[in-house]
Structure 1
């Protein structure tokens, strides 16, 4: 069996994995990172989105062996010192979730979107989140949350480490 070494949420893991093991199953079943849900297993919904070397990927479309030597950030690893990431806070404050199933993937894709474009328009937010589906909200509050988090992340806060957290 192949042996991999990955950094997940700041911790290095070395494991033997089946060559066909999907990253989402490795994260959930081996590492206990259950904040990354399994949605459709077909890359259509985006619920399983994580950051791989800072870029959003759907973890159901990537084999664990493809992540060897790379850095993975899950929704559980984006906060700092027990505080929520600005994107998590914005999703809560703007009521950008209902059932919450898509929320981890939406948050991770939104963080990547803001990495590429710190001040996106509503249309750019909608385009940037196109691969992530929500069946409950109608997206209005999600767009508002991303816009709110973008403003907070562009504006230096009294606690600089809080606004700098991106992965």
Structure 2
């Protein structure tokens, strides 16, 4: 999950690492699979289900995530869809809050956010779809961040061409 907002949230809670494609077994029995598992310093595991499109987020996915979260005793779990929130309002049906195990619903709106704003009694990941102009601005800021980050995008002859907004 390459985004500043989630890094800010998880950094405060001792994120050790994010591990892709993890299967969990109890003996020979497959309990479930997570697209990504977040490991925290206190030993807790948080399963993350990632879908490219909202069509992949269905009841079977939610039930499988529930079974895995229960087996891991996860403090919460995450469903991420790589589309803008305005294009997938049906994702909200999978939301859960306390006193149940919370489920974060993330879309491109949050995944490309530059900062998570934490306020008392407020959810920085609350459902708040962006309009197209806000999305365009966010995408431009995200590209600028990638282009300036020498640690994850070392300068070479290909980087400038790949990170250019004008592909003509």
State which structure, 1 or 2, has the greater radius of gyration over its C-alpha atoms. 2
The structure with more strand, counted as a fraction of residues: 2
Alignment TM-score, normalising by the size of structure 2: 0.28
Q: Which structure carries more relative contact order (alpha carbon 8 Å, separation 6+)?
A: 1
